[in-house]
Amino acid sequence: MSFFDVIIQTLDSTIRLSVPLLLACLAGLYSERSGIFDIGLEGKMLAAAFAGAAAASVFHSAWIGLGMAILVSVSLALVHGFASITHRGNQIVSGLAINFVAAGSTIILGQAWFQQGGRTPALAPNERFEAIKLPGADALRDVPIFGPIYSELISGHSLLVYVAFLAVPFTWWVLFRTRFGLRLRAVGENPAAVDTAGISVAWLRYRAVICTGILTAIAGAYLSMVQSGGFVKDMTAGKGYIALAALIFAKWRPVNAMFACLLFGFLDALAIRLQGAPLPIIGKVPVQLMQALPYILTVILLAGFIGKAIPPRAGGVPYVKER
Amino acid sequence: MAEAAIELIGINKSFGAVRANRDINLEIARGTIHGIVGENGAGKSTLMSILYGFYQADSGEIRVNGKPAAIKSSNDAIATGIGMVHQHFMLVDNFTVLENIILGAESDALLKSSIAKARSELERLEREYGLEVEPDAIIEELPVGLQQRVEILKALYRGAEILILDEPTGVLTPAEADHLFRILRQLKDQGKTIVLITHKLREIMAITDSVSVMRQGTMVATRETKQTTVEELAELMVGRRVLLRVEKGEAKAGEVKLSVKNLVVKDQRGVTMVDDVSFDVRAGEIVGIAGVAGNGQSELLEAISGIRKAVSGSVTLDGRPIDLTGAADPGELRQRGLAHVPEDRHHVGLVLAFEENENSILGYHNDKRYLKGPLLDVDAIMADAKDKIEKYDIRPANPRLRTANFSGGNQQKIVLAREIEQDPGVLIVGQPTRGVDVGAIEFIHKRLIAMRDQGKAVLLVSVELDEIRSLSDRILVMFAGRVVGERGPEASEGELGLLMAGVEQKEAAE
């Protein structure tokens, strides 16, 4: 295998690995830009992964699976909204509660419904979102350089991968080019300004958490219905938290978020590829160290390399009308 | 007279047990500037918030231009042509001027056309009212005066015919305030109606056509500005005659209580803030330190009270030195009879989350009177707090209330009561009446004079020149860290003003 092929393959898995991070990161962006911190991305993703895989295997339809995932994830997002917008509760506590509920209930329900130790049955091809071949992918395969890039890297992914990457410019457009985006950014900075301008702070924030719910649902569905052929317990494995880190790293901006998630995805892909392979000079590196690499880098990046990340000023603070 | 732009009929509003507005009637003529004055907590802001739809009245009617108006939200208020400039600006700091102006009044679901429309409309408003502001500037990079202008433009952009301004000059420099008044007069000439809420009586006299006075939730009087005086308004606000200038006898200065010699203090950045300052404060006199804020007065106070480290020099209290290494024990200084009313009562003087009774002994909580063995003697503390509340007329008279829920004037009284009632030999006071209303100012001034007459030494630092002049027996003026002059209480405002501005005046010194 040529060096070029290795690069293409690594980049290909970079894309696959960064998709769930990217979707979760954009999900968090909507919520946090509106001033609602959401540590519960992890839990919503996990619940959506379970709901999606379970519904897909029962109804034999990937689309019903996705719909179910969205329903469950948005419901959890609304619970978070109800606690933190309507009742002005502590947003961290509410988010954590959602994570615990999701971690526990997916295993219990999975065992009760499918008796496979918390797993859902393996999904048949028509119950998953399968790879899409872009037009001309086969014809161009043999063109040097461009051919493999197009047919391997760009073509041949699941629909949800394209959705994730299209969500980046879309989110940017919504945030910076529409009335909704202007208000969303304003409510995360100074809700009193929004309130006195005659706009409902609560309704605006509810819409933001619904957006969050939809995107975490797609992230979860990707995990259980694209990346693997069914739900496995705790399959999110901290991706919701990494997405939050990426969000800070990206300074709450959609395009930055994409690059941050691609970087984390790349590190993951690199760790997998380099497992067991001897490196020049250093020699063989323990597997565990390679697996820890993305997390170590996350800590280093967050600690010093991104400069000052200023969160939305009203983030985490419930809005109370003042006398 | 023109017909009424706003009529409020029988407005009532309660927050829990507190009746913020009681049966308010008010009529404001179109095309006039109408002032509403009252002490903090008199219900001015509540009334205006009702008019702007931020709250809803429990009962009563609002009429705008003679027609009954149902104002249930800020949206309704905007639609009826009412705009409000809040005391704390309602702007998104990291947005541009244009973005702030269109927020909530976008003409379209997409921003591009909304912004284009706002840009041309803004140009028109700027021409018409002389309100220049760079439309693409970021709010947080603008000076406060311009931010306020954006708030006014925001209201005008929404078609406001009636403009409410809540304490608009609190954050402005005198020059910015003058500019604001010019703008308001121009708006009036264009036929807008302006409601000005303030507790600064001078502003009322300077700019309004008529004025209403509120006290404890009721509307006590409405006057034509030309036919009233500052004294009458002050009396109406407080409900009794107010002495705007305290009366006091001759000082009988005794021995030196506090002596500062060649004191040098630097701030965190290493800049010299107090530069070779020396002075004495004697028993039975008030020494006032005048100066524009930021000329070293704060650092001087902190060094003397042992909070901030001094670089060199000495301070003696009753002939014994005070530790200036920054390691002084404030408790020990208090025992030696040095009481300190800090400039910043919110962060240094009080713990706002504590109950009133806890704050009223804070710093003296190791005193035997408040202890029962190793524990606090709650009954003694409560009795003591009630006693202070009565003596200092602290309202509401509830020692269990959280300190944050008291008005600024009453919070200041809590601090003063705590420090004065310990019967100190020396009292250091910073900005005693900042954010305090007229009635409480009079009370505080009287207490300080009484301290002096009891033979205590008082060191007063204030940026209010009137206060310095009416209280002090000797006035020191600080400029750029140095004492640039000493004057008697008869010194004119102009003379002190020149000294404060750092203008050397040889003739005046002779």
Residue entry with tokens 């509920």: A101
Residue B285: both structure tokens together: 């006199």
Chain B contacts of A192, Cβ < 8 Å? 88, 90
Distance of CA A223 to the CA centre of its chain: 10
Find the angle CA(B147)-CA(B198)-CA(B206) to the nearest 5 degrees.
95
pLDDT confidence of residue A174: 97
Confidence of residue B1 (pLDDT cuts 50, 70, 90): very low
B15: nearest CA in chain A? Answer: A323
pLDDT confidence of residue B185: 94
**Three-state SS letters, A42-106:** HHHHHHHHHHHHHHHHHHCCHHHHHHHHHHHHHHHHHHHHHHHHHCCCCHHHHHHHHHHHHHHHH
CA distance B83 to chain A (A): 10
Residue entry with tokens 């959705």: A163
Of B238, B270, B301, the position where a domain reaches its end is B238
Quick count: other Cβ atoms within 10 Å of Cβ A316? 14
Contacts of B174 (CB under 8 A, 6+ apart): none
Of B211, B238, B265, the position where a domain reaches its end is B238
- Both B211 and B297 in one domain: the answer is no
Count of domains observed in chain B = 2
Task: Please give the sequence-ordered ranges of beta strands (E in DSSP) within B387-481, or none if there are none.
Answer: 426-430, 457-461, 474-479
User: How far apart, in whole angstroms, are the C-alpha atoms of residue B314 and residue B262?
Assistant: 7
Chain B contacts of A199, Cβ < 8 Å? 103-104
Contact B103 A193 (CB under 8 A): yes
Domains of chain A with CATH codes? 9-305 (1.10.3470)
- Both B137 and B172 in one domain: the answer is yes
User: How far apart, in whole angstroms, are the C-alpha atoms of residue B415 and residue B411?
Assistant: 7
Contacts of B73 (CB under 8 A, 6+ apart): A198, B53
User: In this structure, is residue B404 part of a structural domain?
Assistant: no
A204: nearest CA in chain B? Answer: B104
Instruction: Assign B476 to helix, strand or coil.
Output: strand
Quick count: other Cβ atoms within 10 Å of Cβ A12? 18
CA distances from A93 to A80, A84, A122, A158, B389 (A): 10, 10, 34, 35, 40
Contact B103 A182 (CB under 8 A): yes
- pLDDT tens-digit profile of B196-233? 998 778 888 989 999 999 988 899 999 999 999 988 98
Sign of CA dihedral B220, B221, B222, B224: negative
User: In this structure, is residue B447 part of a structural domain?
Assistant: yes
CA distance A197 to chain B (A): 5
Pairing, β B33-38 against β B193-198: parallel
Give chain B's length: 510
A192: nearest CA in chain B? Answer: B90
User: How far apart, in whole angstroms, are the C-alpha atoms of residue B334 and residue B295?
Assistant: 27
Please state whether the peptide bond connecting residue B432 to the residue before it is cis, i.e. omega within 30 degrees of 0. Answer: no
User: How far apart, in whole angstroms, are the C-alpha atoms of residue A264 and residue A243?
Assistant: 9
Complete DSSP assignment for A152-220: IIISSEEHHHHHHHHHHHHHHHHHHHBHHHHHHHHHHH-HHHHHHTT--HHHHHHHHHHHHHHHHHHHH
- If we measure between CA atoms, which residue out of B75, B56, B65 comes closest to residue B12? B56
User: How far apart, in whole angstroms, are the C-alpha atoms of residue B347 and residue B353?
Assistant: 11
User: How far apart, in whole angstroms, are the C-alpha atoms of residue B469 and residue B310?
Assistant: 29
- Both B22 and B136 in one domain: the answer is yes
Residue entry with tokens 């003694």: B380
User: In this structure, is residue B499 part of a structural domain?
Assistant: yes
Pairing, β B272-282 against β B285-290: unpaired
- A181 in contact with chain B, both atoms CB, cutoff 8 A: yes
Contact A176 B111 (CB under 8 A): yes
Residue A202: both structure tokens together: 């609560």
- Both B44 and B95 in one domain: the answer is yes
Residue B248: both structure tokens together: 């006091």
- If we measure between CA atoms, which residue out of B489, B482, B493, B1 comes closest to residue B265? B482
User: In this structure, is residue B106 part of a structural domain?
Assistant: yes
User: How far apart, in whole angstroms, are the C-alpha atoms of residue B461 and residue B472?
Assistant: 10
- Edge to edge, the sheet with strand B162-166 lists B82-85, B162-166, B193-198, B33-38, B210-215, B218-224
Q: What is the largest distance, in Å, between two alpha-carbon atoms of chain B? A: 75
Complete DSSP assignment for B300-311: HHHHHTTSS--S
- Both B54 and B81 in one domain: the answer is yes
A91 near A36, Cβ under 8 Å?
yes
- If we measure between CA atoms, which residue out of A166, A140, A168 comes closest to residue A153? A140
Calculate the average pLDDT of chain B.
Answer: 88
Chain B contacts of A196, Cβ < 8 Å? 52, 54, 74, 84, 86, 90
Task: Name beta bridge partners: B355.
Answer: B402
B288 near B468, Cβ under 8 Å?
yes
Which of A178, A192, A198 is facing B110, going by the closest CB pair?
A: A178
Contact B114 A180 (CB under 8 A): no
- Both B233 and B281 in one domain: the answer is no
User: In this structure, is residue B88 part of a structural domain?
Assistant: yes
Which of B179-183, B335-339, B492-496 is the least confident region? B492-496
B107: pLDDT strictly greater than 90? no
Task: Give the B window 24-83 contacts with A, CB below 8 Å.
Answer: 45-46, 49, 52, 54-55, 73-75, 77-78
User: How far apart, in whole angstroms, are the C-alpha atoms of residue A28 and residue B203?
Assistant: 49
Backbone angles phi, psi at B261, to 5 degrees: -130, 120
Task: Name beta bridge partners: B198.
Answer: B37
- Both B169 and B308 in one domain: the answer is no
CA distance B91 to chain A (A): 6
Name the region of B252 (left: φ>0; alpha: ψ -120 to 50; beta: rest).
beta
Residue B214 domain boundaries = 4-238
Contact A189 B95 (CB under 8 A): yes
User: How far apart, in whole angstroms, are the C-alpha atoms of residue B149 and residue B122?
Assistant: 12
- If we measure between CA atoms, which residue out of B206, B275, B223, B281 comes closest to residue B459? B281
Which of B78, B86, B110 is facing A198, going by the closest CB pair?
A: B78
Distance of CA B146 to the CA centre of its chain: 21
- Both B474 and B337 in one domain: the answer is yes
CA distances from B195 to A49, A123, B48, B51 (A): 58, 69, 9, 11
Contact B104 A183 (CB under 8 A): yes
pLDDT confidence of residue B328: 78
Residue B453: both structure tokens together: 């007459």
Distance of CA B93 to the CA centre of its chain: 23
Of B238, B264, B289, the position where a domain reaches its end is B238
ipTM above 0.90, yes or no: no
Contact A179 B109 (CB under 8 A): yes
Domain containing residue B17: CATH number: 3.40.50.300
Query: What number of C-beta contacts closer than 8 Å exist between A and B?
Result: 74
- pLDDT 10s digit of each residue in chain A, 323 long? 678 888 888 999 999 999 999 999 999 999 999 999 999 999 999 999 999 999 999 999 999 999 999 999 999 999 999 999 999 999 999 999 999 999 999 999 999 999 998 899 999 988 999 888 888 888 888 888 888 888 888 888 999 999 999 999 999 999 999 999 999 999 999 999 999 998 999 999 999 999 999 999 999 999 999 998 899 999 998 999 999 989 988 889 999 999 999 998 998 888 888 777 777 777 777 778 877 877 787 778 777 666 667 889 998 888 987 64
Type and span of the H or E element at B316? strand B312-317
User: In this structure, is residue B397 part of a structural domain?
Assistant: no
Q: Which residue has the higher pLDDT, B136 or A303?
A: B136
- Both B58 and B164 in one domain: the answer is yes
Distance of CA A13 to the CA centre of its chain: 16
Burial class (CB in 10 A: 0-12, 13-18, 19+), B435: middle
- Both B93 and B189 in one domain: the answer is yes
User: How far apart, in whole angstroms, are the C-alpha atoms of residue B494 and residue B204?
Assistant: 23
What is the rounded average pLDDT of the residues B170-181?
77
Q: Which residue has the higher pLDDT, B268 or B290?
A: B290
- A178 in contact with chain B, both atoms CB, cutoff 8 A: yes
- Both B307 and B219 in one domain: the answer is no
B509: pLDDT strictly greater than 60? no
Task: Please give the DSSP secondary-structure letter assigned to residue A33.
Answer: H
Q: Tell me chain B's radius of gyration from C-alpha atoms.
A: 26
Chain A contacts of B74, Cβ < 8 Å? 195-198
Find the angle CA(A15)-CA(A21)-CA(A27) to the nearest 5 degrees.
130
pLDDT confidence of residue B508: 43
Chain B contacts of A181, Cβ < 8 Å? 111
Residue A34: both structure tokens together: 């509106």
User: How far apart, in whole angstroms, are the C-alpha atoms of residue B341 and residue A79?
Assistant: 48
pTM over 0.80: no
- Both B307 and B176 in one domain: the answer is no
Residue B232: both structure tokens together: 């009458």
User: How far apart, in whole angstroms, are the C-alpha atoms of residue A155 and residue A135?
Assistant: 8
